[in-house]
Amino acid sequence: MKKLLRKKLLIPVLAVLIFFGTTAFKNDFFEIAKQIEIFTTLFKEINMNYVDDTNPGELMDTAIKSMLDDLDPYTQFYNEQDVEASRINNAGDYTGIGAKVLTLEDKLVIVEPYQNYAADKAGLKAGDEIIKVDNVNVADFKDDAANLLQGSAGTEVSITYNRQGKTNTVTIIRESLEIKAVPHYSMVDEKTGYVVLRKFNDKASLETLRAIKALKNQGATQLILDLRGNPGGLLHEAVNVTNIFVPKDQLVVTTKSKVKKYNKTYYTQREAIDTEIPLVVLIDGKSASASEIVSGALQDMDRAVVVGTRSFGKGLVQRPKPLTYGTQMKITISRYYTPSGRCIQALDYWNRDEDGKAIRTLQENYNAFKTRNGRSVFDGGGVEPDIEVEFAKQTPITKAISNENLVFNYATDYYYNHQIKDLKSFSLQDSDFKKFKNYIKSSGFNFETKTETALHNALIVAKEEALATEIDSEFNALNEALKSYKENAIDDNKTQLKSLLTDEIIKRYFYSEGLYTYYTANNTEIKKALSILNNPSQYASILR
């Protein structure tokens, strides 16, 4: 017992000594030691003397997360379950029911059952609300209830769920599955290959390479690489994907940190597969991190035409750091810079507004950089596409509707009231969109613009300064104008909302695989990419 106690005491002591021994912290040694001592004594006094029973683990978890909240959202503490989830995400293998789920306060919602895997074979559908896993009520489970669905392959799990007002129970046998980095590739026409890269796990470059080789064997002489919705992943895999299209020994990305050992330059390590094939890269507001390294590097090298909408703007690099007792920390260690020298980080987490929110870099503060051919590109706000597809850009109203899950929920109702047999000819009708507008209205959806918030705050100040009566008529006029805008906003964003609805509805009938097939014939961004690739002079002029 004494040996065990000594070991438990020795581990944190050694960790602290190692922590203080690193060069980066020598200058702050006294301040760090002082704050750790203050916190340790405070934590001890609370747990020993507080009037009610305390839970040291929960208190510490809250303390850690509250501390990290003041940093960027990518610096995170992982408990043992989180560490395993991270490993699965990077490796691409997974054991569970075979479905993407959304964790809400009192339920788990099936977002998408993976085709021909356990949940799908058991009859679960997108929109099903899981309320109980085995004997555990989801509403009573404090941690991420999605962890309840995981387990060894071949084991059973009983799931109770609600669907369209009815409660059902089903037993599912868990199984292993591989989450593909490249879920789809195909020929769009007789000479154009299309590759969807959805995440940068440790198989991303290998799967992308295999897809491109297969398409070239089918006659592809030009390519579309779809990075839309790709949240990123492993930095070295971004370098390897870029290497498919550019020669060996080319600079792809540079990382800069206050810790010298994290200052690194990443070059392509192999001979490229094809340095000449015309290439269009598709991005959107959900393309982040490694996706931005690839699209930004290819843009800086004038190796590809980038099409779509401005990317997310994540120019920060994280590294996992092991902690004690199987826990881990993912910490932001550096910023990354594309070959032209730009950092595309959009949000400033170190200078926040009065509400504590990160400040977005204003466009007038962007800095210009030059591509190899001398084209101007800019930092500060994500990767700006060479050709922007305006309608695809999410507006505040479409983002708010999506965040409220109104598109998802309407698609669920649509699925149980309609039949679709022909994928490629499906088109959402105006009558359907009218029903969707009525659905939004009946849901109680209330969208408050930033202008409304500012106007409301201004009125409060005006009342304090006894100016309210002076500006009353102007205030009412602005209010009416905003009300009119909001009433028309859904119709003004009809094209994008119909596109979002169409995507979600198609997945209900034909899964993600069907959606990609639909895209090749109907998607606006792909059509724009094709028009550029099929006009060599236009393609060349964009890159000049």
- How far, in Å, CA of 541 to CA of 350, rounded? 40
Residue 39 belongs to some domain of the structure: no
Determine how β-strand 358-360 pairs with β-strand 347-352: antiparallel
Is there a single domain that holds both residue 370 and residue 226? yes
Phi, psi of 320 (to 5 degrees): -75, 140
The confidence band for 280, taking pLDDT boundaries of 50, 70 and 90, is very high
pTM listed for this prediction: 0.86
The reported pLDDT for the residue numbered 447 is 75
Sequence length of the chain is 544
DSSP bridge pairs for 158: 171
The confidence band for 27, taking pLDDT boundaries of 50, 70 and 90, is low
Residue 12 belongs to some domain of the structure: no
Residue-by-residue DSSP string for 175-186: EEEE--S--EEE
- How far, in Å, CA of 125 to CA of 127, rounded? 6
In the listed set 363, 388, 413, which residue is the last one of a domain according to the structure? 388
Residue 75 belongs to some domain of the structure: no
Q: What is the pLDDT of residues 58-108, one digit of tens each?
A: 898 889 988 998 899 999 988 777 777 777 666 656 678 999 999 988 999
Residue 543 belongs to some domain of the structure: no
The reported pLDDT for the residue numbered 243 is 98
Q: What is the pLDDT of residues 324-372, one digit of tens each?
A: 888 899 999 999 999 999 999 999 998 888 778 888 888 888 999 999 9
Is there a single domain that holds both residue 377 and residue 345? yes
Kindly state the DSSP code that residue 114 receives in the 8-state scheme.
Answer: P
In the listed set 372, 388, 404, which residue is the last one of a domain according to the structure? 388
The reported pLDDT for the residue numbered 470 is 64
* pLDDT for 11 beyond 80: no
Q: Within 13 Å and on the Cβ side, how many CA atoms surround 352?
A: 11
Total structural domains within the chain: 4
Question: What's the mean pLDDT in 508-533?
Answer: 96
- How far, in Å, CA of 299 to CA of 338, rounded? 9
Residue 407: exposed, middle, or buried by beta-carbon count in 10 A (0-12, 13-18, 19+)?
buried
Residue 6 belongs to some domain of the structure: no
Determine how β-strand 279-283 pairs with β-strand 222-226: parallel
Domain carrying residue 506: 396-445+493-524
Q: CATH number of the domain that 139 lies in?
A: 2.30.42.10
- How far, in Å, CA of 72 to CA of 8, rounded? 31
Kindly state the DSSP code that residue 233 receives in the 8-state scheme.
Answer: B
Q: What is the pLDDT of residues 472-501, one digit of tens each?
A: 777 777 777 777 777 788 999 999 999 999
The reported pLDDT for the residue numbered 145 is 86
Is there a single domain that holds both residue 229 and residue 316? yes
532, amino acid identity: I
Is there a single domain that holds both residue 372 and residue 404? no
* Better pLDDT: 326 or 237: 237
Is there a single domain that holds both residue 117 and residue 230? no
The confidence band for 9, taking pLDDT boundaries of 50, 70 and 90, is very low
Q: Where are the beta strands (DSSP E) in 43-107?
A: 76-78, 93-96, 99-103
